[in-house]
Structure 1
Amino acid sequence: MARQLDVSLFRKVCPDALGASYQESPEPTVHVSTSGNRSGVDIRAAFRRCYGVDVRRVLFVRGLEWPADGWCDQGAALADGSPEAPFEYVYTQPSGPLEQALAKFWEELLEVPEVGASDDFWEHGGDSLGAVETIEFLAQEYGARIGFFDIGDNFTVARLAALVHERSRP
């Protein structure tokens, strides 16, 4: 089911959004076309800030445009031959105590309301100092010996939890 929302709020926060559509079922989903390099984390946070809705999926598609009166009709845009979504962001709940603790640590460190298991540290605005703080936290709390260069580009809660399990003191 599509819902009409005041597009002006979202366009102020995401001026590079060329068009978007929101669906409530089967799960809260935003389909979006942008002219910039926004991440799914950015779109999800902007949507929460504008409308108070916790979107679980962000699908990046081509061909969506803003109609004069608000949100576009995603079904029509995708039915006209637009390609499949080239990128999809799906919020994944942290599982187990370690992932939950890491997510909570990042929420406080990065000052973001909710971090999922597949959310990337760098996409949430993390920097090298925050990465070092994370490494120190893991060493103190879990005895994990993780170096800065072990982190790499795929710095997610799930991957970090796997590294902690692999490198924790017995």
Structure 2
Amino acid sequence: MTHKSALPETPAIAAAVDEHPEIVEFRYVDDIPGANPMVVAKTTGFLGGSELRRYCRERGGSAEFDVLVVDEMPKPDISAADLRSLAEQAQEGAFSAFATPQGPVETALVEMWERLLEFAPISVLDDFVELGGDSLIALEVAVEISQTWGRNLSLVDLIDASSIRRLARILDTTTDGSR
């Protein structure tokens, strides 16, 4: 479905996306077995996937969906599978996948970031700085990591890791797994 004005039967995600002021046009895709729903969107400026997910969550919709930002909308008859393929080939930053935590380290880090950043939900692939993370919050993260895992990471290490998935890999390879 491609639109800018939501229909009454539109899923809650699409209805919330439709209300976002930076969305010019979009297509909501939820018919790919085993894949997250996806929003393909043309915007007025830069709008990241994490920000669009936050916007939808604040309006009572689910926020577990992927986002592909495009300069021009694909033809209406393009299949959902071809849209997914287009997303996989997108330039860096244009596609934002929502990935849930795998394992106790990623789960604990998601909970920590959501609390400290006051932002939910957070994908394990979301970028710390794009979520609003700054040096003060990074310092809080470093302190909590030290208290939880006994690892002292520099602020540079935290910013360089950029995502929960990368940070968890660092913690998994440098700790014995105990808390």
TM-score normalized by the length of structure 2: 0.73
Distance 2:61 2:15 in 1: 15
The whole-number CA distance in structure 2 between the counterparts of 1:53 and 1:75 is 26
Partner of 2:23: 17
- Match for residue 76 of structure 1? 76
Deviation by residue 1:8-40 (Cα, 9 ceiling, x = unmatched): 86465x322221121222232111111212111
Q: Post-superposition shift, 1:55?
A: 3.8
Q: Would you say how many aligned residue pairs link Structure 1 and Structure 2?
A: 157
C-alpha deviation, 1:52, in angstroms: 1.1
Conservation of the 8 A alpha-carbon contact between 2:53 and 2:121: no
2:152 equivalent to 1:152: no
The correspondence for 2:121, drawn from 93, 114, 120, is: 114
Q: Which runs of 5+ in 1 are unaligned?
A: 65-73
Aligned counterparts, 1:35-50, within 5 A: 35-50=44-59
Q: Which moves more between the two structures, 45-54 or 21-30? A: 45-54
C-alpha contact (below 8 Å) 2:142/2:158 kept by paired residues: no
Instruction: Flag the 1:108–1:146 CA change in 2: closer, same or farther, 3 A.
Output: same
**1:125 alignment counterpart:** 132
Closer, same or farther: CA 51–142 of 1 in aligned 2, 3 Å? closer
Structure 1 residues 150 and 54, CA gap change in structure 2 (3 angstroms): closer
Given that 1:32 and 1:59 are in contact with CA atoms closer than 8 Å, whether structure 2 keeps it comes out as yes
Corresponding residue number in structure 2 for 1:70: none
TM-superposition CA deviations, 1:105-154 (whole Å, max 9, x none): 11111112222211111121111111000011111110112111112355
Please report the RMSD computed on the Cα atoms of aligned residues, expressed in angstroms.
Answer: 3.0
Cross-structure match for 1:69 = none
User: CA 1:131 to 1:95, structure 2 compared with 1: closer, same or farther past 3 Å?
Assistant: same
**Which string of whole-angstrom CA distances, capped at 9 and with x for unpartnered residues, describes residues 66-112 of structure 1?**
xxxxxxxx651758xxxx45321111111110110010011111112
- Structure 2 CA distance for aligned equivalents of residues 162 and 149 of structure 1: 16
TM-score by length of 1: 0.77
**Distance change (3 Å), C-alpha of 1:136 and 1:34:** same
- Structure 2 residue matching 1:103: 3-state secondary structure: helix
The one-letter code sitting in structure 2 at the alignment partner of 1:115 is I
Amino acid at match of 1:18: V
Stretches of 4+ aligned residues off by more than 6 angstroms: none
Note the C-alpha offset of 1:56. 1.8
Q: Is the 8 A contact 1:63 1:77 kept in 2?
A: no
Task: Give 2:47's aligned amino acid.
Answer: R
Classify 1:9/1:164 alpha carbon distance in 2 versus 1 (closer, same or farther; 3 Å): closer
Partner residue of 1:54? Answer: 63
